[in-house]
Amino acid sequence: MSKSTKRSGPDTWDEGECKAVIEQLWTLRQSMLDHEVTLAPLLHAVDPAYRDSARNLAHYLTLRHLDRRALQEWLSQVGLSSLGRAESHVLANLDKVLGILHRLTGQAWTPQSQDEPVGIHSSRKLLERHTEELLGPAPANRAVRIMVTLPSEAAGDYGLVRRLVVSGMDIARINCAHDGPAQWTAMAGHVRRAVRTVGKPVRILMDLGGPKLRTGAMACGTSVLKIKPLRSAVGQVLSAARIGLRMAGSTMPVSGASAHVGVDAAWLQQLKTGDQIDLTDARGAERELVVVALDDSGVLTECTQTAYLVPQTRLLRRRRGRAPRFTVLADLPCLDGTLHLERGAIMHLARDAIDSPAAKERKQERGAMPTVTCTLPEVFGQVCIGERIWFDDGRIGGVIRRVEPEWLEVEIVHARDSGEKLAADKGINLPDSQLNLPALTAKDMQDLVVVAKEADLVGLSFVHQAADVDALRTCLRDLGTPDIGIMLKVETRRAFENLPELLFSAMSSKAAGVMIARGDLAVECGYERLAEVQEEILWAAEAAHMPVIWATQVLETLAKTGLPSRAEITDAAMGERAECVMLNKGPHITEAMRTLDDILRRMQSHQTKKRSLLRALRAWSLPHEPQR
Tell me how far CA of residue 34 lies from CA of 38, 48, 377, 508, in angstroms: 6, 21, 45, 22
pLDDT at 354 over 70: no
Angle between helices 51-63 and 15-38 (to 10 degrees): 130
In this chain, the answer to whether the domains covering 225-328 and 338-429 adopt an identical fold is yes
3-state DSSP assignment of residue 428: strand
Q: pLDDT tens across 450-497, in order? A: 999 999 999 999 999 999 999 999 999 999 999 999 999 999 999 999
Dist CA 129 CA 545 (whole Å): 9
User: What is the percent of the chain with per-residue pLDDT over 90, rounded to a whole number?
Assistant: 80
Query: Once rounded to an integer, what is the mean pLDDT over residues 562-576?
Result: 91
Query: Once rounded to an integer, what is the mean pLDDT over residues 204-233?
Result: 89
Angle between helices 530-543 and 518-525 (to 10 degrees): 120
* C-beta separation of 489 from 209 below 8 A: no
- Mind giving me the DSSP string for 449-482? HHHHHH-SEEEETT--SHHHHHHHHHHHHHTT-T
Strand 485-490 to strand 457-460: parallel, antiparallel, or no bridges (unpaired)? parallel
- Mind giving me the DSSP string for 54-81? HHHHHHHHHHTTS--HHHHHHHHHTTS-
* C-beta separation of 314 from 288 below 8 A: no
Q: Helix, strand, coil proportions of the chain in percent (round to 5)? A: 40, 20, 40
128-211+437-605, CATH topology level: TIM Barrel (3.20.20)
User: Which CATH number among 1.10.10, 1.20.120, 2.40.33, 3.30.160 corresponds to the domain 225-328?
Assistant: 2.40.33
* C-beta separation of 573 from 564 below 8 A: no
Residue 210: its pLDDT value, please? Answer: 93
**What is the distance in angstroms between the CA of the first residue and the CA of the last residue of the chain?**
51
Report CA torsion sign: 354, 359, 364, 365.
negative
Residue 317: its pLDDT value, please? Answer: 94
Specify burial of residue 123 (Cβ count, 10 A radius: 0-12, 13-18, 19+).
Answer: buried
Predicted TM-score (pTM) of the model is 0.80
* C-beta separation of 96 from 116 below 8 A: no
* C-beta separation of 278 from 307 below 8 A: no
296-310, 325-339, 502-516: range with lowest mean pLDDT: 325-339
pLDDT at 624 over 80: no
For 250-296, give the secondary structure using H, E and C.
CCCCCCCCCEEEEECHHHHHCCCCCCEEEEECCCCCEEEEEEEEEEC
* C-beta separation of 542 from 87 below 8 A: yes
pLDDT at 1 over 60: no
pLDDT at 342 over 70: yes
Dist CA 143 CA 122 (whole Å): 18
User: How is the chain split into domains, by residue range?
Assistant: 10-118, 128-211+437-605, 225-328, 338-429
Strand 407-414 to strand 338-341: parallel, antiparallel, or no bridges (unpaired)? unpaired
Residue 64 CB neighbour total at 10 angstroms: 15
Q: Rounded to the nearest 5°, which phi and psi values hold at 443?
A: -65, -40
Give the DSSP H/E element, type plus range, for residue 198. Answer: helix 181-198
Q: pLDDT tens across 135-152, in order? A: 999 998 899 999 999 999
Q: pLDDT tens across 19-39, in order? A: 999 999 999 999 999 999 999
pLDDT at 218 over 70: yes
Q: pLDDT tens across 234-267, in order? A: 999 999 999 999 999 998 999 999 999 999 999 9
Angle CA(319)–CA(257)–CA(270) in degrees, nearest 5? 25
* C-beta separation of 488 from 466 below 8 A: no
Task: Give domain 338-429's CATH architecture.
Answer: Beta Barrel (2.40)
Q: Pick the closest to residue 58 from 82, 37, 28 (CA basis).
A: 37
